């Protein structure tokens, strides 16, 4: 097996951890909270859409444009145990925990 194939296999077989994340603007103190089925890949997706100027949350995109990437931090705030849950159960738990963290951090929700 080639090195590339081994890397692809390892990626597919890795344990995926669902959870809640926050993006913080260190200049303004604003926070945005989202939920994801895969915490390990979410920051790359958020940063990519922000760099492209196409993030769906306009307040986050506006802050990013005003202050630049150096002003932002990504934080995984809670890993969610989804063992034994079907997709509906996982999504429901993520939604509940996302709402909890939005309230705790006085944050804006991300989809």
59 to 18, 55, 62, 64: CA distances (angstroms): 25, 9, 5, 9
Q: Considering only CA atoms, which of 94, 96, 98, 99 is closest in space to residue 82? A: 94
Give residue 56's pLDDT: 97
Q: Where are the domains of the chain?
A: 16-109
Residue 6, CA distances (Å) to 11, 12, 53, 99 in order: 9, 10, 35, 39
Structure tokens at 89: 């159960």
Give the model's pLDDT for residue 11: 66
Report pTM: 0.86
Confidence of residue 101 (pLDDT cuts 50, 70, 90): very high
How many other CB atoms sit within 10 Å of the CB of residue 27?
13
Q: Torsion angle, CA of 44/63/101/88, rounded to 10 degrees?
A: -50
What pLDDT digit, counting tens, does each position of 59-95 carry?
999 999 999 999 999 999 999 998 888 989 999 999 9
> Taking the domain 16-109, which CATH number applies?
3.40.1440.10
Q: How far is CA 40 from the centre of its chain?
A: 9
Other residues' Cβ atoms within 10 Å of the Cβ of residue 16: 11
Q: What pLDDT band is residue 1 in, cutting at 50, 70 and 90?
A: low
pLDDT at 52: 98
């Amino acid at each position: 097996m080639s090195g590339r194939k081994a890397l692809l296999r390892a990626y597919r077989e890795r344990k995926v951890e669902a959870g809640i994340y926050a993006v913080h603007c260190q200049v303004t103190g604003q926070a945005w909270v989202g939920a994801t089925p895969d915490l390990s890949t979410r920051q790359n997706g958020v940063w990519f859409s922000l760099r492209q100027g196409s993030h769906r949350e306009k307040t986050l995109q506006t802050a990013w444009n005003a202050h630049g990437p150096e002003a932002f931090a990504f934080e995984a705030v809670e890993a969610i145990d989804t063992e034994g849950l079907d997709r509906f159960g996982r999504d429901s738990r993520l939604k509940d925990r996302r709402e909890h963290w939005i309230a705790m951090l006085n944050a804006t929700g991300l989809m």
